[in-house]
Chain A
Amino acid sequence: MEDKQGPPGEPRPHRWQMVIDLDRCTGCEACVVACHAENNIRLSGPREAAEGRAINWIRIERYWEGEYPDVKARFMPVLCQHCADAPCEPVCPVYASYHTPEGLNAQVYNRCIGVRYCGNNCPYTARQFNWFDPQWDPPLEQQLNPDVTVRQNGIMEKCTFCVQRIRQGKEQAEREGRPVRDGDITPACVQSCPTTALVFGDGNDPNSRVAIMAKSGRGFHLLESLGTHPAITYLKRLDE
């Protein structure tokens, strides 16, 4: 399962991975807000939210366990799992959804024509569609991130693992003539998590936090039986 990312036989300098510790997640949704600000995600408003069209690249799924009054709320942040065998990729007729050599599922906005098969075939419902042209309530349009494309009506988008930050981190390291260090690159959601439930790093570096934590006995992958080989490992202590 480990070595399935990227084209076979080629050395992969990085394999970006994330660990999400469900035992630490409080469901505060700071990651959701940070992601919106970082990635120029359009504001949907209450009406579109009610229609189920609010675009979130990361969402907190809330599940209730038990019967009243003995009820527990369970939180699970779900974002694009950056699968090694991603079901969204081969179904795209125009290569808008493709696999980068570093194991990211990239979405080429300019290429996307909006057939939306990728959205259907993602078992995690991680992909989001631009049903209308983007809009921001003033003054939020003043704080758009210049490093991220604003997406047009009619195309798919989804979590990129903050590819712009990955790129900056690698360029910075190159300028300083050193390899990328663990912790150099943090996606917005990871940076904003108050309980450090999210950890990001290079799975190719055996000493990175993410590589060590992914080996934890509490680890599992979401819908593992589908064989999508996600780059995200969830951690959860079993209650019983």
Chain B
Amino acid sequence: MNNKPAGWEEMPAINRDLLAPLAPGGRGYVLLLTLLAAVVSAGAGAWVYQIETGIGQTNLHPPIFWSAYIASFVYWIGVSHSGTFISGVLRLTKAEWRRPITRVAELMTIISVVIATLFVFYHLGRSWRWYYLIPYPNQREIWPDFRSPLMWDATAVFTYATASTIYLYLPLIPDFALVRDRIGGWRKPLYSLLSLGWRGSQREWAALNTAIRIITPLIVMVMISVHSIVGWDFGMSLVPGWHTSIIAPYFVVGAVHSGLGMVVIGLYLVRRIYRLDTYIRLEHFDKLGKLMLVMTLTLAYLYFADQLTVWYGAIPDHLSVMHAVMSGPYAVPQWTMITLIYVLPLITLTLPAFRAWPAGMLMVGLCINVGMYIERMLILTPPLAHPRLTYNWSDYFPSWVELTIMAGSLSLAVLLYALAIKFVPIISIWEEKEGRLHEQESAPRRTGRTISA
């Protein structure tokens, strides 16, 4: 018996492969960053222009006081659920195949929470007075009103952002230490600081595993509560089409749906660009495809339950919204959305051969995300456009300022992700190694059993 663990000869190769993305990027990378930065500056310019002149630069008007920005906020919060759902739930269920996926997904969580928060600021009429939302002691003794779902929301999103940063950071500590030992130059002190003096002792590993075990169930609960509360921003109102008790679970499932789609997009690109085919394998696309199928069906079920209730109940206020969406001015986006998030995933993901085709999975991921963006817009706008006093009925399409800000924010998300890849090992190196060890350890046992049987 030799005292080196089984599979140890694989480790240098894993280190080499997974640390490779941290090397400085080539011409293509710099070009991508420049392009993204250009769009981000356009978005920033549009925001400055909007602050300078007024929220009137959007196409909002009574009775449509919320639309593209809030829809984008909901969408990005939804995307942020990818990381937590995938890594949290899969960690909880001890699914071995999660290992190369978790980091890709958790990074998305942090970045999209940041983007979502930005949309709150774009939306505020007086964004320079945002701090009124913070409960800070002041001589006028005015406190924020915690009866408002928006305060629940602010609290939930802040909790989520903090918790998921910790959740991303904990499993990064051993990886940061690994990078620290292998990197020189100005980045070394940074990684030293971030790895908190990690030496890899038995005690440190035990502490890390305990911490991860504690935070994982907590973050899953926070994730469910966050998107429920985002749903209640709408559900708590009197607006026909928003005021429904199904909205919280519907939002949670919808968030996971778009989040999974986004993770597939991320996995595809990372795998393709850094040639990580041996780590992100077809098996992973297959398993994610199955998860997406489950989410498609769950979301379709909730949507059907809600729409059937509205249609059968036939309360005129609610029905007018439904008619506007199904056959009225919003019919084209509505049926595009239904095709993109329900029909296409159902047709394709049920085929095992399709799930093993990464480019196809990428396309489904894109479809789901475009569809979910449309879906968020459709949740927001038609109910507001059809208030009970029909004199005030109206319609809406985003203005160029809104579209520029939305495009700028999307670019900012991609830009931050592209930068993060150069800073953080995009696949959790120690977890990948741990997985290989588990495989090695369980493989002989299985053979042993077969022989004895």
Q: Which residues of A contact B (CB under 8 A)?
A: 48, 51-53, 61-63, 76, 78, 87, 90-95, 111-117, 119-121, 123-125, 127-133, 152-156, 222-223, 226
Contacts and interface: CB of A to CB of B under 8 A. Distances in A.
Contacts of B233: 117
Given A53-B56, A91-B148, A91-B236, A119 B391 contact: no
Interface string B220-246: 000000000000010011110000000
B125 interface: yes
B61 A53 contact: yes
B149 A91 contact: yes
Interface stretch (B38-46, B283-291, B382-390, B421-429): B382-390
Given A91-B149, A113-B129, A132-B54, A51 B144 contact: no
A93 B125 contact: no
24 contacts: A52-B394, A53-B62, A78-B391, A87-B237, A90-B145, A90-B148, A91-B237, A93-B151, A95-B144, A113-B125, A113-B129, A113-B133, A116-B65, A116-B123, A117-B65, A117-B148, A121-B237, A121-B238, A125-B62, A130-B54, A132-B56, A154-B55, A222-B389, A226-B238
A131 B55 CA distance: 5
A128 B62 CA distance: 7
B56 A131 contact: yes
Nearest to A116: B65
Nearest to B394: A52
Interface string B386-423: 01111110100000000000000000000000000000
B66 A116 contact: yes
B66 A155 contact: no
Given A93-B145, A94-B132, A94-B133, 5 more contacts: A52-B61, A95-B142, A120-B65, A123-B387, A153-B126
A205 to B, nearest CB: 31
B-side interface size class: 35 or more
Contacts of A133: 54
Closest 6 CB pairs of A and B: A114-B125, A131-B56, A154-B125, A116-B65, A132-B54, A119-B65
A155 B125 contact: yes
B319 interface: no
Contacts of A125: 62-63, 387, 389, 392
Mostly helix, strand, loop or mixed at chain B's interface?
Answer: loop
Given A53-B61, A93-B150, A123 B388 contact: yes
Given A78-B389, A121-B239, A125-B389, A154 B126 contact: yes
Contacts of B63: 119-120, 125
A114 B124 contact: yes
Contacts of B56: 48, 53, 131-132
B145 A95 contact: yes
A226 B237 CA distance: 12
B154 A93 contact: yes
A115 B55 CA distance: 11
Output the residue of A78, A152, A153, A222 with the most chain B CB within 10 A.
A153
A52 B389 contact: no
B238 A115 contact: no
B55 A129 contact: yes
Contacts of B123: 115-116
A131 B150 CA distance: 21
Interface in B126-166: 126-127, 129-130, 132-133, 142-145, 147-151, 154
Contacts of B125: 112-116, 129-130, 153-156
B53 interface: yes
A61 B145 contact: no
A91 B65 CA distance: 14
A50 to B, nearest CB: 10
Given A154-B125, A155-B126, A93 B388 contact: no
B256 to A, nearest CB: 26
Contacts of B387: 123, 125
Contacts of A78: 389, 391
B237 A129 contact: no
A112 B66 CA distance: 16
Interface string B31-63: 000000000000000000000011110011111
Given A90-B148, A115-B123, A129 B389 contact: no
A116 B55 CA distance: 11
B148 A92 contact: yes
Contacts of A156: 125
A52 B150 CA distance: 26
A173 to B, nearest CB: 30
A138 B148 CA distance: 41
Contacts of B130: 113
A117 B53 CA distance: 22
Nearest to B149: A91
A74 to B, nearest CB: 10
A142 B104 CA distance: 62
A16 B132 CA distance: 30
A90 B151 CA distance: 11
B118 to A, nearest CB: 15
A105 B51 CA distance: 28
Nearest to A121: B237
Nearest to B240: A123
A48 B132 CA distance: 30
B65 A129 contact: yes
Contacts of A61: 389, 391-392
A112 B388 contact: no
Contact of B124 (A52, A76, A115, A119): A115
A114 B388 contact: no
A114 B127 CA distance: 8
A117 B154 CA distance: 14
Nearest to B126: A154
Contacts of B390: 63
